[in-house]
Structure 1
Amino acid sequence: MTSTNQATQPRLLRWKDVQPRVGICRSQAHAMIQEGTFPAPVKLGARASAWVESEINDWIDSRISASRKKAGGVA
């Protein structure tokens, strides 16, 4: 596999890798998934789920953007 193909391949992250990136607990994440405000996981099996890394990164970016807009509007 070339480095170009590796860059375009989706990467799946387990919760232990997602949680430190997003800083919320699992129960909060699941509540936000139900609200449609957090990316839903991909089922890997009966008891295993993972999140698409690019979706997590996009969610983080959207939170940063929303925070900056609020901070900019207040000042």
Structure 2
Amino acid sequence: MLRLKDVLKRTGFSRSTIYNKLNVASDHYDAKFPRQIRVGKTSVRWIESEINSWMEGYVKLSRQSQGSMAEIISAMVV
């Protein structure tokens, strides 16, 4: 299981970007981004294999697309 700091390192995203991807009210919401799991009163973790799978999909999509990065990200949010 990964801590937030590990997810930040693997994805290259900021803390606010991660939480915006999880927030349905955000313009940056990503329904495919792995959800965190609560492991304590104030602690959360992410499943490593879920983060890895999401990143693999992100890379595949970016390599297949001839469009802009905005189009790639939009396609992932669907």
What TM-score comes out, normalization by structure 2 length?
0.71
**Structure 2 stretches lacking a partner, 5+ long:** 24-28, 69-78
Greater share of strand: 1
Higher radius of gyration, 1 or 2: 1
Match status 1:23 vs 2:18 = no
- Count of matched residue positions in the alignment of Structure 1 and Structure 2: 62
Name the stretch that deviates more: 25-34 or 50-59.
Answer: 25-34
Counterpart amino acid of residue 60 in structure 1:
M
Identify which of 36, 40, 48 aligns with 2:35.
40
Aligned residue for 2:2? 13
Work out which structure has the larger RCO, using CA pairs closer than 8 Å and 6 or more positions apart in sequence: 1
Aligned residue for 1:62? 57
Aligned residue for 2:75? none
What TM-score comes out, normalization by structure 1 length?
0.74
Counterparts of 2:6 and 2:20 in 1: how far apart (Å)? 19
Displacement over 6 Å in runs of 4+ = none
Identical pairs, percent: 35
Counterparts of 1:28 and 1:37 in 2: how far apart (Å)? 14
Greater share of helix: 1
Counterparts of 2:9 and 2:54 in 1: how far apart (Å)? 14
Q: 1:37: Cα distance to partner?
A: 3.4
**Structure 1 stretches lacking a partner, 5+ long:** 1-11
Counterpart amino acid of residue 34 in structure 2:
P
